Amino acid sequence: MRSPVSVKHERRVLCVFPPYAPSFGTFEHAYPLTDGVRAFMPPQGLLTIAAYLPATWQVRFVDENIRPASDADFAWADTVLVSGMHVQREAIVALGRRARGLGKVSVLGGPSVSACPEHYRDFDYLHVGELGDATDALIDALDTGPRPPPRQRIFTTEDRLPLTDFPFPAYEMIEGRRYFLGSVQFSSGCPYRCEFCDIPTLYGRRPRYKTPQQVTAELDAMLAAGICGSVYFVDDNFIGNKKAARKLLPQLIDWQKARGYPLRFSCEATLNIAASPDILAMMREASFYAIFCGIETPELDALDAIDKGHNHRALPILDAIRAINGYGMEVVSGIILGLDTDTPATVDNLLEFIEASQIPLLTINLLQALPKTPLHARLATSGRIDDSGRYDSNVVFARPYDQVLADWRFAIRRAYSPEAVYARFAWQAAHTYPRRLRPKLSRAQLNLRNLRRGLVTLARIVSKLGISGDYRRTFWRFAWPSLKAGRIEDIIASALVAHHLITFARACVQQNAAFFSGRTQPALVAACGQEVFAGGGRDDELGDVAGRAVGEVGDGARANGPRDADAVPRSRISEQRRERATAPAEFAAGCRLSRPGVAARRAGQRPI
């Protein structure tokens, strides 16, 4: 549906989505290996707003991750509407100043302004909250006044629009083939209250849903817009209401079967999804290939301390991961260092967990205290929030800062060496991928567009990684068995992700450890290009449609500054080697068992 506001004037609205700062989560280093991909996911929130605006208003959409908004775009518009997340703060501010300098009416919505409206004083109108009564009031104000107001006005949503009344995002405005992934929203909100997460505050603890028919109709619209390959469900928690998930999945299965399985799906869910085998079985049948789980830490006492004990109460963590793998789905995980419970043994426990879990993609980030979270409130009360921008986190850690940063660098180096990344992908290729549903080839899969995209991408992977790459031997050790077995899709998907992880990790261990503050990072931008796993999915409140994956993946844009601890990791490598040499035989096998407990016992933790 469109806004019910009856407008009297025509308006020209330029909707601009700002570029992301570098991150593990948006895979920008994979784009040069593809057939023209330039951005992560379409910004559903802004596209939903574009579809909600009055039909008589002219609307133009620009995703600056694909191309910058031009002078001609700004000259055409009388109103500039921006939406974004914390990771885009600098770019958001720059757009507001540009619009103001050109005398345009400027509007900002989305999760960042909804959490921190005080950060955005250069915009004429702020939209705080989700799509609803504030949106209609804003439209009425824009219709009434064609010029910037004398002072900033803030509209706050009190009455949310039901998701069942949301319009389809304006996919006709995008060039779908330019995106790494498609994105769709089924629900909003999460029933859990993890200490570091702002989802319950922003979107509520009682999940709200679209109908299955809305979801499948949006998938049809995405296909028509040129999106192909994979689509990410950007819900805060796909199983926030298991009953609703059980209603959706049969509809997805029917949709896939009727159209020849044109898409692969992934989503975000709590790890206790592993205790629902009926849901996992339907997800496999619907062709889900991956689930993002915020595991955060393998140390169980730490999970309890941050109100995330549900990660291990239904099943031991490693058993849960294997259960998900058993249905052909790869687990992607968010990891946090810098928790109050961390000890000098934490980084070793983490690396052992990575080896035991064989999760290829883990986003290892320093703890950040997001506004409007229980963590931020607790730390602010004790004087442990530092917003000066001098460090790589706004948290005053319980451990010395240099030690936490050194552990982060050490973990990144070890986890994302080419050998380590490809070893984990090789394990998935041997144990997880063969369990995936392999539907018969159809015209929806085997068409000229897909063939060209696949061949071009494979040729670039072979050329840049297999021939000229500095880790080409490691690449071929992984790729050759899959190539002989004809599993080309597995090679392409794994190589794209692995190349981004390896390249980004090499840059960020020399630059920054987190992605949240507003401090500039020119060196890293030059090295890395431009952030979610979530990236362009859900720039929520101004149209609430989207995914906190970016928050998990490293929400914000931060550089590290002069405090470097590069000398420490080398000493820690020697330290780990000494530990390995003197460890009992149980340790050598521990990382390959389903429930290793050696490292946990050494650190005084409960086993995973």
Which percentage of the chain shows pLDDT scores above 90? 75
CB 271 within 8 A of CB 317: yes
pLDDT in tens, 9-46: 999 999 999 999 878 888 999 999 999 999 999 999 99
Query: Which helix (DSSP H) or strand (DSSP E) does residue 302 occupy?
Result: helix 300-305
Give the β-pairing of 153-156 and 125-128. parallel
pLDDT in tens, 200-224: 888 888 899 999 999 999 999 999 9
What is residue 513's predicted lDDT score, i.e. its pLDDT?
Answer: 59
Q: What are phi and psi of 196, to 5 degrees?
A: -90, 0
d(CA 372, CA 246): 32
d(CA 314, CA 322): 14
CB 82 within 8 A of CB 73: no
CB 375 within 8 A of CB 195: yes
CA distances from 11 to 8, 74, 241, 457, 485 (A): 10, 13, 40, 42, 57
CB 64 within 8 A of CB 80: no
Residue type, 186: F
Instruction: Identify the bridge partners of residue 337 per DSSP, sorted by sequence position.
Output: 366
Overall average pLDDT of the 149-174 stretch:
96
- Is residue 82 packed enough to be buried (19+ CB in 10 Å), middle (13-18) or exposed (0-12)? buried
Instruction: Identify the bridge partners of residue 422 per DSSP, sorted by sequence position.
Output: none
546/54: higher pLDDT? 54
513 closest CA partner among 345, 370, 355, 336: 336
- Quick one: tokens of 47? 């596209």
d(CA 95, CA 382): 36
d(CA 294, CA 547): 13
d(CA 15, CA 265): 28
How far is residue 147 CA from its own chain's centroid?
37
Residues 6+ apart with CB under 8 A from 276: 239, 242
In terms of DSSP H, where are the helices of 34-163? 44-52, 71-76, 89-101, 111-115, 133-144
Domains of the chain: 12-21+43-156 (3.40.50.2300), 22-42+161-608 (3.80.30.20)
Number of Cβ atoms within 10 Å of the Cβ of 384: 17
- Whether the per-residue pLDDT at 134 is higher than 50: the answer is yes
In terms of DSSP H, where are the helices of 416-564? 418-431, 448-461, 472-484, 488-508, 522-528, 549-554
- Whether the per-residue pLDDT at 584 is higher than 60: the answer is no
Q: pTM of the entire structure?
A: 0.84
Residues 6+ apart with CB under 8 A from 273: 238, 239, 279, 280, 291, 293, 324
pLDDT in tens, 57-91: 999 999 999 999 999 999 999 999 999 998 899 99
pLDDT in tens, 279-295: 999 999 999 999 999 99
Secondary structure of residue 309 in the 3-state scheme = coil
Give the β-pairing of 288-296 and 263-268. parallel
CA dihedral of 246, 247, 249, 255, whole degrees rounded to 10: 170
CB 202 within 8 A of CB 109: no
Overall average pLDDT of the 521-534 stretch:
29
CA distances from 131 to 134, 137, 282, 440 (A): 7, 11, 31, 41
pLDDT in tens, 310-332: 999 999 999 999 999 999 999 99
- Quick one: tokens of 185? 């929203």
Please, what is the average pLDDT of the chain? 85
Q: What are phi and psi of 39, to 5 degrees?
A: -150, 165
What is residue 272's predicted lDDT score, i.e. its pLDDT?
Answer: 95
What is residue 512's predicted lDDT score, i.e. its pLDDT?
Answer: 58
Residues 6+ apart with CB under 8 A from 80: 13, 14, 16, 74, 95, 99, 104, 105, 106, 107
Residue type, 524: L
| Predicted confidence band of residue 586 (pLDDT cuts 50, 70, 90) | very low
Total residue count of the chain as it appears in this document: 608
CA 534, 181, 477, 425 torsion-angle sign: positive
pLDDT in tens, 470-522: 999 999 999 999 999 999 999 999 999 999 999 999 987 666 555 444 443 43
pLDDT in tens, 343-377: 999 999 999 999 999 999 999 999 999 998 999 99
What is residue 1's predicted lDDT score, i.e. its pLDDT?
Answer: 82
pLDDT in tens, 242-277: 999 999 999 999 999 999 999 999 999 999 999 999
| Helix, strand, coil percentages in the chain from 3-state DSSP, rounded to 5 | 45, 15, 40
- Mutual angle of helices 212-224 and 242-259, in 10-degree steps: 40
